[in-house]
Structure 1
């Protein structure tokens, strides 16, 4: 009976294998290579040992107010602050401290980190693994749209990290997330790359993330994502986690974007992105069929007098390539254009009426005076003071008006508000938007004189 059962089972197995579906089997493998043995230890110590002193701890202090200190310009005067003390009229201040990480990118002290790590800091202090000394750091520049910032310490012969071309990063690559979150030494976690070119996450405006399952510990923002050769492939920026802890999906800003933004921040104190002048959208499968089954960035609108308009691009064109790079989505076009400097000439490959065309476009700048006569600058939207505004506000002063302001911007934190009038920057009187644009060309912080409700006060911006 037992023999019959075994034979029947074999027959069933044989019939299943010989059925109508033919499965693909790999060649039989009988040998296995084991990563460890009793006399060997698998280790990445040799590649990580060199890079550990390239990772720094960043601690900041920033002044937090329960309300805007600039709601009334008199609060900027020490005499009036002392006069109102005890009457509940002056907002309370407190000092907030936070920690993050950074990566040394040059021997002479330049460090890259996340913008959100140092945003609003009054004081930045850096400590390096293996060095008991703390170093005061200066903010060189920041780019909120990519969440990158550059700080500098006055130290020589530092261990600068080696960059790897992030375009060559592949899904499945072994990676390490390094940080120095608590100032007591580095943390290292291991994982793999699970995706590249991730965008649409809503974390920052320009997203081209490397996704990893390596645990990013609290305070590791601004730290390094390293490949198994000990080379930098990204700057750790964010993590998605249901628990709020360190287990989740991590995102790192790729080194090619880091290098582009960091170079400009070091040289100019800011990063100005190129401007094409198109409204774009993605294609679904039905729309793709109308474009020879291609995917790219569909132009849904072209701004008047923009670089795209001058080059001849039209609504309905599908952009599928910039220079030698394939463009498969609207976000990819946005990120690609954002890596170029203004005035750069690029080759645009596009589909029109199912025919492939190529043309040259000289890019513009996204810091521009817009068509309705307004200027966009660091979260401010500025316009000329109109006659009605002067009459209703009984305003006799000249300047440019704050039409709108981003509440997360540096200008808002400095105390500027909607409907304020900017009358002077340093020693330059501001009468027009062009005056404002010329006065803000350099990277240094400046004294900005602001008119509000009959009084003028100054802020640093």
Structure 2
């Protein structure tokens, strides 16, 4: 009736992760001509080192460590400390903000203690679990609980929103730590707590191990983790829609748009169809569908159970990477125009997916804005899609560059931002 043997077996594979980032400090008088002229030498400040603390899990004896992306994001230096006190420099192999995972690599002559990755689809509500991590930076800590819920969505901590919920105590610093089953296998990476006070209230969330597995496999091969591209956009099924199509309750992913000549269209999917299951796994909402497609992986073919009209069909969908056509043709716009200082690119399905834009979106997108530039002054933001300029449709970055310079009397342009069409006039 003790967890001690399980902890002795598993705890050595859970590490503390220290990330440091150098942050320049600006004087409150920076940019003021008077103070820069008379106090310029005094206003310069030494850069400040910003540090963060989290946890990680060794998943391969060669020194592969999984943690949360937000633990190591933008870090200049990352170190890991083992449970026995040894410390190592770590290098970043892969990271993905959308799923909040990162893989680190530590080199050592001897193999590291590691955890096997379990099949998180075999979990059941009520299973015993242990959470191991470094809460509040006080050192390695173990808490126990059960699986409170599965397939939790709309949590908002990553792009997929598909989590294991547990009542095992998870606190700040536990991020990136291990959630293990009663056999000592990794079933999730602890990532978030739901609490108004910032402390554990018995509601914690972990990224399922099946997502961790596909991310680690991509990192091992040196490839960037990619989600399969379907070429369609989805929305949740509302109660009204469920009644209209004859479903007993709101469930599934309703197809809004299908891009021409893309995998969804080739498979026979149409707007108005409802995806109810994928390879026998029920689809509750679009988040669930995104998770199931990602864990199936590129190169596979999945079977979708689809409600089309009044009939249920089984459709085979091959999973492919997002195409990169048209070519991005990235440009940094210059000159005396409202777009000066904006980095722009032609939207392809791959770039749209990377920027979390609708995959059917086309046109020219802003990817970055230089600080203090004219583009920033006139309100352009990253992920803005430039639709028209002076009444003419903007079809490419080359066309935008040419059109912007050619406009002598002023600029009237339209952008799409978060689904809204905005108009700006500059004289």
- Whether TM exceeds 0.5 here: the answer is yes
- In structure 2, the residue matched to 1:300 is 256
Q: Please tell me whether residue 52 in structure 1 is matched to residue 11 in structure 2.
A: yes
Q: Please tell me whether residue 338 in structure 1 is matched to residue 290 in structure 2.
A: no
Aligned mates of 2:254, 2:69 — CA distance in 1 = 31
CA drift of 1:252 comes to 0.3
CA drift of 1:385 comes to 7.6
Structure 1 residues 97 and 292: CA distance shift in structure 2, 3 A: same
Whether contact under 8 Å (2:339, 2:375) holds in the other structure is no
Aligned mates of 1:144, 1:330 — CA distance in 2 = 19
- In structure 2, the residue matched to 1:401 is 344
Aligned mates of 2:8, 2:94 — CA distance in 1 = 30
Whether contact under 8 Å (1:273, 1:340) holds in the other structure is no
RMSD between superposed Cα atoms in Å: 3.7
Structure 1 residues 331 and 67: CA distance shift in structure 2, 3 A: farther
CA drift of 1:402 comes to 5.7
The answer to which of 276-285 and 208-217 deviates more is: 276-285
Structure 1 residues 385 and 205: CA distance shift in structure 2, 3 A: same
Aligned mates of 1:191, 1:96 — CA distance in 2 = 33
**Aligned partner (choices 267, 284, 292) of residue 328 of structure 1:** 284
TM-score where L is the length of structure 1: 0.67
CA drift of 1:314 comes to 0.8
- In structure 1, the residue matched to 2:101 is 148
- In structure 1, the residue matched to 2:163 is 209
Whether contact under 8 Å (2:150, 2:163) holds in the other structure is yes
Structure 1 runs not aligned, ≥5 long: 1-41, 73-83, 376-381, 421-431, 435-461
Whether contact under 8 Å (2:125, 2:149) holds in the other structure is yes
Residues 344-359 of structure 1 aligned to structure 2 (within 5 Å): 344-359=300-315
TM-score where L is the length of structure 2: 0.72
Aligned mates of 1:166, 1:356 — CA distance in 2 = 28
Q: Specify the structure having the higher radius of gyration (Cα).
A: 1
Aligned mates of 1:416, 1:275 — CA distance in 2 = 36
Structure 1 residues 184 and 245: CA distance shift in structure 2, 3 A: closer
Structure 1 residues 385 and 61: CA distance shift in structure 2, 3 A: closer
Residues 101-250 of structure 1 aligned to structure 2 (within 5 Å): 101-130=55-84, 132-155=85-108, 156-181=110-135, 185-250=139-204
Structure 1 residues 206 and 393: CA distance shift in structure 2, 3 A: closer
Residues 406-425 of structure 1 aligned to structure 2 (within 5 Å): none
**Aligned partner (choices 24, 47, 61) of residue 65 of structure 1:** 24
CA offsets 1:257-311 (integer angstroms, 9 cap, x no match): 1101121123225211111121212223442233342631111211233211222
Structure 1 residues 334 and 114: CA distance shift in structure 2, 3 A: same
Aligned mates of 2:374, 2:2 — CA distance in 1 = 58
CA offsets 1:163-197 (integer angstroms, 9 cap, x no match): 22111111111211101346664201111111110
How many aligned positions are there?
A: 352
CA drift of 1:418 comes to 9.4
- In structure 1, the residue matched to 2:221 is 267
CA drift of 1:239 comes to 0.4
Structure 1 residues 412 and 134: CA distance shift in structure 2, 3 A: farther
CA drift of 1:92 comes to 5.7
Aligned mates of 2:123, 2:339 — CA distance in 1 = 61
CA drift of 1:433 comes to 8.4
